[in-house]
Amino acid sequence: MSGQPEHPTLLIPGPIEFDDEVLQSMSHFSQSHVGAPFVATFGETLSMLRTLLQTSEPASQPFVVSGSGTLGWDFVAANLTERGDDVLVLHTGYFADSFADCFETYGINATQLKAPIGDRPQPHEIEKALRDKKYKLITVTHVDTSTGVLSDVQAISELVHKVSPETLVVVDGVCSIGCEDIQFDSWGIDVVLTASQKAIGSPAGLSIMMYSKRAIEVFKARETPPSSYFASFKNWLPIMQNYEAKKPSYFATPSPQLIHALHKALTQLLARPLSERFAVHKKASQSIKSTLTSYGLLQLATKPENQASGMTAVYLPESVKATELLPNLLQKGVIFAGGLHKDIASKYIRFGHMGVSVTDPSRNDIQKALEALKDGLGDVGYSVGGILNMAGEDAIAELPLMRAQDNLAENPEAYDDRLVDEAKNSTSPSTFIWALTLAAGISGMLFGYE
């Protein structure tokens, strides 16, 4: 049970709900940013990022810099490109437009390869673009926060290395790191940029990046100086290398409190295998999406392979306005996000389901949100039929509970022991089913979705 003050449950695609221990770590007493205790914490934090992003290459380098995820775009543009270079931006939503704008600010020629809303550029289209022109780098938004579209980073990277091996592979992972699998070394990625406040589960304010040996060599081979002062590798690369080696160093003052929070969040995140974490997010997402479909709501990303695990974007019924629904949900204690894609912003809403809201079985964030959405749609004139599959005791029939209990009895080896204990100790049907959903990774079966 959270000890935080009563507040509306935040279920937007970041910032997300935070664990109590992460928030408490923010109250750490003031420290010198070049003192040995803080330098040790920062160094451990950088090392944990290597584990999260699955890189063991010593020549790659993690960065943590005060700023938002957007700062990562400036780092890429300022250090890896030079005025007049060509870059290819794969477009799956709003954030590709913004990344392209960033490049243009630095005098870089950004070509966007766009897909219809809810879809992603196809391999043959990417291959043709790479054969038609030489690009310094290609950017992929792993999950676009505006649409919930998931890109196949592994397949794209393999294609780039095959067709245009000199092109750097840059991944915007702001809405994916911590809830989607990403393998920096084995997939041949050159840059991953992300932020602290989404699936990693730490308060906003930190721009997090990983650069490959190849990317750093491209920087060192520049013919012109970096086109930014604050975002320059010339200033930051030796600082990050020193911090990771637990040596005091200084260019610009970091936030010790934010670093402590990130350190705690990463410690919690890495306490269990990454594969388990990704599976929990994926299966919870599938159940949420099934429930939303039962409400008659259509996802922007209609193809299963395009659907993200940490968020869902759904069109509203024609009779429902977001300006009426979202305030209604707030009154019920739930915060969803409105649309962000400029072409359809008023026609859809976004539901973030990542971090502790899905990994902590003691929380009822998801059940509460689905129940609020069902009732809220009814309040604004849209009737939702059928049962509310994961949304509270009153709406969960005895049959799904019996299915869950029978499945546990018949297949005990399929469940994670820690979450099974949570289920067995529960007197609530909804908590029992939700805990087993996470434990088994077979939520669709538990709720009768074969």
Sequence-ordered list of residues with C-beta below 8 angstroms from that of 222, at least 6 positions apart, any chain: 79, 82
pLDDT tens track of the chain, all 450 residues?
A: 688 999 999 999 999 999 999 999 999 999 999 999 999 999 999 999 999 999 999 999 999 999 999 999 999 999 999 999 999 999 999 999 999 999 999 999 999 999 999 999 999 999 999 999 999 999 999 999 999 999 999 999 999 999 999 999 999 999 999 999 999 999 999 999 999 999 999 999 999 999 999 999 999 999 999 999 999 999 999 999 999 999 999 999 999 999 999 999 999 999 999 999 999 999 999 999 999 999 999 999 999 999 999 999 999 999 999 999 999 999 999 999 999 999 999 999 999 999 999 999 999 999 999 999 999 999 999 988 643 433 333 333 333 343 344 455 555 555 445 445 545 554 444 444 444 444 444 333 333 232
Contact by Cβ (8 Å): 280, 380: no
CB 290 within 8 A of CB 448: no
Q: Distances from the Cα of 146 to the Cαs of 13, 345, 377, in angstroms?
A: 9, 9, 22
Distance CA 316, CA 338 (A): 10
Q: What is the pLDDT of residue 3?
A: 87
Rounded CA-CA distance 120/141 in Å is 10
pLDDT reported for residue 384: 86
Residue 404 buriedness (CB in 10 A; 0-12 / 13-18 / 19+): buried
Give the C-alpha distances (Å, rounded to integers) separating 74 from 142, 193, 340.
Answer: 18, 11, 22
Give the count of alpha carbons within 13 A of 436, CB side only. 28
Helix (H) or strand (E) holding 315: strand 311-315
DSSP 237-302: HHHHHHHHTT----SS---HHHHHHHHHHHHHHTTS-HHHHHHHHHHHHHHHHHHHHHTTPPBSS-
Provide the token pair at 19.
């664990």
What pLDDT score does 427 carry? Answer: 45
The pairing of strands 61-66 and 206-211 is: antiparallel
pTM: 0.85
For 128, residues 6+ apart whose C-beta sits below 8 A from its C-beta are none
**Dist CA 423 CA 447 (whole Å):** 15
Q: Indicate the length of the chain as a whole number.
A: 450
Rounded Cα–Cα distance for residues 425 and 121 (Å): 47
SS3 category, 173 = coil
Q: How far apart are CA 439 and CA 450, in angstroms?
A: 18
105 in helix, strand or coil?
Answer: helix
